[in-house]
Amino acid sequence: MGSTEEGLFQRSRPNRGIRAMPRRALIDHRPWLLASITAAIAYYFLWDNPLGGLWLILLKGAAVGFLTIYAMRRGKGLDGAILTLALALSAAADMVLELDFYAGGALFFVSHVVAISLYLRNRRAPHEASWGAAALAMLLLTPLTTYLLSQGAIVAGYSVGLAGMAAAAWQSRFPRHRVAAGAILFIVSDWLLFSQLGPLDLAPLPDLLVWPLYYAAQLLIA
């Protein structure tokens, strides 16, 4: 995983990083990843089952919920606690979203703010903070594109937090090919979701891709 495996352990481990961890310790945590992936796949195939009800809501929350447990068990110090909180808020938002779209969005916004605090605590060194234009593009284009897709000011306001999270992830010291890539997938997933609110009909892409892209995003970020 991105933030957990490389970033959160860097301060407390020798230069060998994650490779210094005993293999048995890593294996002990993998069941939580397996449980998370299993829940995510199950929800994808069952989400439109009319018989699910509360069980489907709990199954949806379990996907990122198990990632939260993984982060809690492996994360160290304040950074580990912040990542765990961000994932826990996302898991709660996944469930609340099924009951109230705007309440779920509010929880996701808070989770983005928490994640931003993690990334700002772990900024790249000045000589490594390249491609700042990419972060600026995320900050500007994410809310603009969101508004064009959704035609909603409130939804566009939410996306400011999403954009800040992605830009901060890009400029953090965590590996871009995992954490920043996960943040970008988060944006794409939300764009597909928000397209259902506006005039642009992208069907059937939202139904097919919103959940896989979102879960892949959280998995990479974790």
pTM of the model: 0.86
On whether the CB atoms of residues 149 and 206 are closer than 8 A, the answer is: no
Tell me the mean pLDDT per 10 residues along the chain, length 222.
Answer: 51 41 58 96 90 89 97 92 98 97 97 98 79 90 97 97 97 95 98 95 94 98 94
N-terminal to C-terminal alpha carbon distance within the chain? 5
pLDDT number for residue 68 = 97
Residue 119 in tokens: 């990334």
Count CA atoms closer than 13 A to 28's CA, side-chain side.
Answer: 7
**Tokens of residue 196, six digits:** 């259902």
pLDDT in tens, 162-207: 999 999 999 999 999 999 999 999 999 999 999 999 999 899 999 9
Q: What is the pLDDT of residue 129?
A: 59
pLDDT for the residue numbered 80: 96
Q: Report the sign of the C-alpha dihedral through residues 151, 134, 97, 122, in that order.
A: negative
pLDDT of residue 21: 44
Residue 17: its pLDDT value, please?
41
Residue in the structure block whose two tokens are 């491609």: 131
Are the beta carbons of 94 and 64 closer than 8 angstroms?
A: yes
| Phi and psi at residue 12, to the nearest 5° | -105, 5
Identify the burial level of 166 via C-beta atoms within 10 angstroms of its C-beta, where 0-12 means exposed, 13-18 middle and 19 or more buried.
Answer: buried
Task: Retrieve residue 172's tokens.
Answer: 């953090």
Compute CA 155 distance to the chain's CA centroid, rounded to the nearest angstrom.
Answer: 18
